[in-house]
Amino acid sequence: MTVTAIGSAVRRKEDHRFITGKGQYTDDINRPGQTHAYFLRSPHAHATLKKVDIARAKTMPGVVAIYTGDDVAADKVGGLICGWMIHSKDGTPMRAGPHPILAQGKVRYVGDHVAVVVAETLAQAKDAAEAIDVDYGVLPANVDTAGAQAKGAPEVHSEAPNNTVYDWHIGDKAATEAAFKAAKHVTKLDIVNNRLVPNAMEPRAAVGEYDAGNDALTLYTTSQNPHVARLIMSAFLGIAPEHKLRVIAPDVGGGFGSKIFVYAEETVCVWAARKCGRPVKWTADRTEEFLCVAHGRDHVTRAELATDAEGKITGLRVKTIANMGAYLSTFASSVPTYLYATLLSGQYAIPNIYAEVDAVYTNTSPVDAYRGAGRPEATFVVERLVEAAAREIGMDPAAFRKRNFVSKFPHQTPVIMNYDAGDYKASLVKAMDMADVKGFGKRKREAAKQGKLRGLGYSTYIEACGIAPSQAVGSLGAGVGLWESAEVRVNPVGTVEVLTGSHSHGQGHETTFAQLVSSRLGISIDNVSIVHGDTDKVQFGMGTYGSRSGAVGMSAISKALDKIEAKAKKVAAHVLEAAEADIDFKDGQFTVKGTDKSVDFGTVALNAYIAHKFNPQELEPGLKEGSFYDPTNFTFPAGCHICEIEVDQETGVASIVKWTAVDDFGNVINPMIVEGQVHGGIAQGVGQALLESAIYNKDGQLVTASFMDYAMPRAHDLPSFDVGMTVTPCPSNPLGIKGCGEAGAIASPPAVINALTDALGTENVPMPATPQVLWQVIQRQSKMAKAAE
């Protein structure tokens, strides 16, 4: 029996089905009698619905049913919710407009759901949708983040005057102002954090099915957290009570946050399945995905950093406007507040921080968590400020960082977070070594001979993962607890099933979770199955996001394994006819201290079930234990990424010459999988910095609504990555894990822009820094240089 240790780069158990085409994604599922749904979507960003006439469409071939907002209202289906309450400065609760699953009276963004056609085939559903007669009263659209609150800007929801959902703040305003007054130097930056589309390669999809015999519903859907979806659909939308609604998230083709949220389409599918009595299937095409998936980022920020004569940071001040889109998505309100401003201290000891955030409605797709969720925006602010400040006061950016690093732990920041462990200098020094920073000057001079501008950019980032202690987030407005559950079932033959509330959509849980069980119980990972993504199998769980599956999900498994081990020792004591206190368990063998008597795990499992060797009055038969693990603190992954970039002066094309990443994720279960997460995160961050941008025109049309218009990173846009690690174990969970899923996307955008600003000699380089943008910057710089001559 081969044990797979923690720390082993074992190959993934789940891969066989994916490389042979045997994965089961939602769109691969077909149910008997299935119909196809097609959504009629608003072509206007903002309009009243004066008339929605379905009479002619209903007579079209193959049409089973057509539903509109009136049917939703008649059935008293509740609206989609935002599960995190934020209060404004004056203590008033955020101002949220209704979010019906089919539009009622008004549409608020291009793609908003006007009606659903259910038909025998998708082609018939599309044809019938064209025959629906809608009379739109077109209204002016409000699409500009910075201008959304302007006087006279079109109002998206009457509940939110000036389109302001909340005006929130954090930190000590007076103390921060005093720090700026006393500062030797103040660095100011205006920052736009560009709007992104998550674009998991699998478009969202859903199949709803009604079992009339049992009055029960099943929803197959592309979800990162099926239990949360069931809870919201039951408690707030009234689709069915929880025990009558099964939500299954099978293989899911990437999420990056976008599949956390409960969407109109999947809710309509399961609601309509009961209404029309047949399974209803919907799969987004890529343009629907662009139009209606929750987007990410979209901040406009003024940021300032105060420093003293010794180059110590004395204060940081931020004012951000965050675009929420047309409706508040499931966790939208938390992203630019508690996931953003609480990270504004970065890796630095900053005594005074004050941040204000206004969240605004616009006539655009809802905006919510996308890989990193608030932390990339915070890191971009902090790391751009630090880099610019160092340059302005004439200090080496690495030396400036070292001077200001937090070096004693625990460290309480002025913005809630209590950093528990880390060694920021160690990751910076290691990264500088790997990146050969010493040789950069020579490389820059050689590049200049070829007409290339070369730059070096640092990003020493920190993030908060492992969300989160339920009491803490409850006090900050979260509507749910953020623990995780696990159940470990040992079968009589000694094989193990682990039921987890975490959900894998690419992260490799079926392997890493099995590694934990293998190393603890001394059994092969081939004898361990990880069960997830089905509310009928797993009792409850909070799902996967915020890099929480290792730190929280595996901690729950670890706690359940403690209980398994404790009970198995009792069984072993009976089998070995020894006192329980004398039983040791190691490498899958139970032994009696000081003797050569032993029994293996499989035999103990069998004895737990046949129950011949113990009195069932004293010890219950069976070997199955569960645990709910609620973390005691956030975890704080941190590290240093260094980007070396070269810009062609003639064309403005930027090429990343070398990427170095040194991350501290605490203890690592499978380094191969962790490095893969880092690679993917960097690619998304480089995408944000150089390529990607969701652009609405003034009428609210998304002009980047396909892969032909929105620049996804491709293989030739990226280099290979040089990835290293440092380790300070996380003190707050039993495994010492911090989380690795988002770090790359958090660290990388400022590393790229810091490298570009270094190369071009100006702090004014916006994202995405496309060749056109860079060419314009180069022209501007060269004009200024000529004017100065």
Partner 1 sequence: MPTVTLTVNGRQVSADVDARTLLVQFLRENLRLTGTHVGCDTSQCGACVVHVDGKAVKSCTTFAVQCEGADVVTIEGLAKDGKLHPMQEAFREHHGLQCGFCTPGMIMSAVDIVNRKGAVDEATIREELEGNICRCTGYHNIVRAVEAGALAMTGKAPARQAAE
Interaction of residue 15 with partner 1, rule CB under 8 A: yes
Name which position in 614, 679, 761, 771 contacts partner 1 (CB under 8 A): 679
Place of tokens 């009243």: 48
AA letter at 1: M
By CB atoms closer than 10 A (0-12, 13-18, 19+), residue 698 is exposed
Interaction of residue 682 with partner 1, rule CB under 8 A: yes
Name which position in 3, 8, 25, 589 contacts partner 1 (CB under 8 A): 25
User: How would you classify the pairing of strands 245-248 and 216-221?
Assistant: parallel
375's tokens: 């932390």
Interaction of residue 657 with partner 1, rule CB under 8 A: no
Q: Which one, 26 or 176, has the nearer CB to partner 1?
A: 26
- Give min distance, CB of 512 to partner 1, in A: 12
Give the sheet arrangement for strand 638-648, strand by strand. 452-462, 638-648, 654-664, 721-725
| Rounded-to-integer distance, Cα 340 and Cα 303, Å | 13
Q: Which one, 405 or 710, has the nearer CB to partner 1?
A: 710
Interaction of residue 684 with partner 1, rule CB under 8 A: yes
- Give min distance, CB of 321 to partner 1, in A: 28
Name which position in 97, 253, 457, 736 contacts partner 1 (CB under 8 A): 253
130's tokens: 């064209």
Interaction of residue 56 with partner 1, rule CB under 8 A: no
Give the sheet arrangement for strand 484-490, strand by strand. 528-531, 496-500, 484-490, 624-629
Interaction of residue 487 with partner 1, rule CB under 8 A: no
Q: Which one, 16 or 243, has the nearer CB to partner 1?
A: 16
Q: Which one, 14 or 377, has the nearer CB to partner 1?
A: 14
- Give min distance, CB of 722 to partner 1, in A: 10
Binding mask 169-208 for partner 1 (x = CB under 8 A): ------------------------------xxxxx-----
AA letter at 323: N
Place of tokens 């004012």: 319
Interaction of residue 515 with partner 1, rule CB under 8 A: no
| Rounded-to-integer distance, Cα 739 and Cα 5, Å | 19
Among positions 271-330, residues that touch partner 1 (CB under 8 A) are 283, 285-287
How many H helices and E strands in the chain?
19, 28
Name which position in 2, 7, 18, 697 contacts partner 1 (CB under 8 A): 18
Partners of residue 376 on adjacent β-strands: none
Interaction of residue 32 with partner 1, rule CB under 8 A: no
Name which position in 505, 548, 658, 738 contacts partner 1 (CB under 8 A): 505
- Give min distance, CB of 465 to partner 1, in A: 18
Name which position in 115, 156, 191, 252 contacts partner 1 (CB under 8 A): 252
Interaction of residue 526 with partner 1, rule CB under 8 A: no
The region, left, alpha or beta by phi > 0 then psi within -120 to 50, assigned to residue 76 is: left
* Terminal-to-terminal C-alpha distance of the chain: 76
Kind and range of the H or E run holding 38: strand 35-41
Q: In angstroms, how far is CA 656 from the centroid of its own chain?
A: 25
Interaction of residue 506 with partner 1, rule CB under 8 A: yes
Binding piece for partner 1, criterion CB under 8 A, among 470-478, 559-567, 579-587, 682-690: 682-690
- Give min distance, CB of 671 to partner 1, in A: 10
Interaction of residue 434 with partner 1, rule CB under 8 A: no
The region, left, alpha or beta by phi > 0 then psi within -120 to 50, assigned to residue 506 is: left
Q: How many residues bind partner 1 (CB under 8 A)?
A: 58
- Give min distance, CB of 324 to partner 1, in A: 24
Q: Which one, 610 or 708, has the nearer CB to partner 1?
A: 708
Binding piece for partner 1, criterion CB under 8 A, among 148-156, 227-235, 247-255, 270-278: 247-255
Among positions 689-718, residues that touch partner 1 (CB under 8 A) are 706-708, 712-716, 718
Interaction of residue 250 with partner 1, rule CB under 8 A: no
Interaction of residue 761 with partner 1, rule CB under 8 A: no
| Rounded-to-integer distance, Cα 544 and Cα 104, Å | 32
Place of tokens 């507040």: 337
| Phi, psi dihedral angles at 756 (to 5 degrees) | -70, -40
Residues 6+ apart with CB under 8 A from 640: 424, 427, 428, 430, 431, 432, 458, 459, 460, 461, 661, 662, 747
Interaction of residue 8 with partner 1, rule CB under 8 A: no
Interaction of residue 741 with partner 1, rule CB under 8 A: no
Residues 6+ apart with CB under 8 A from 651: 771, 775
| Phi, psi dihedral angles at 661 (to 5 degrees) | -130, 130
Name which position in 2, 5, 7, 17 contacts partner 1 (CB under 8 A): 17
Q: For residues 747 and 682, is the Cβ–Cβ distance under 8 A?
A: yes
Alpha helices in 77-172 (DSSP H): 122-130
Binding mask 719-738 for partner 1 (x = CB under 8 A): -xx-----------------
Interaction of residue 740 with partner 1, rule CB under 8 A: no
| Rounded-to-integer distance, Cα 725 and Cα 669, Å | 13
- Give min distance, CB of 744 to partner 1, in A: 8
Kind and range of the H or E run holding 358: strand 353-361
- Give min distance, CB of 229 to partner 1, in A: 19
List Cα–Cα distances, 711 to 292, 707, 761, in angstroms: 18, 7, 26
Binding mask 100-139 for partner 1 (x = CB under 8 A): -----------------------x----------------
CB atoms within 10 A of CB 49: 21
Name which position in 69, 111, 744, 768 contacts partner 1 (CB under 8 A): 744
**Site of interaction with partner 1 (CB under 8 A):** 11-12, 14-25, 27-28, 30, 123, 199-203, 251-254, 256, 283, 285-287, 505-508, 672-673, 675-676, 679-684, 706-708, 712-716, 718, 720-721, 744
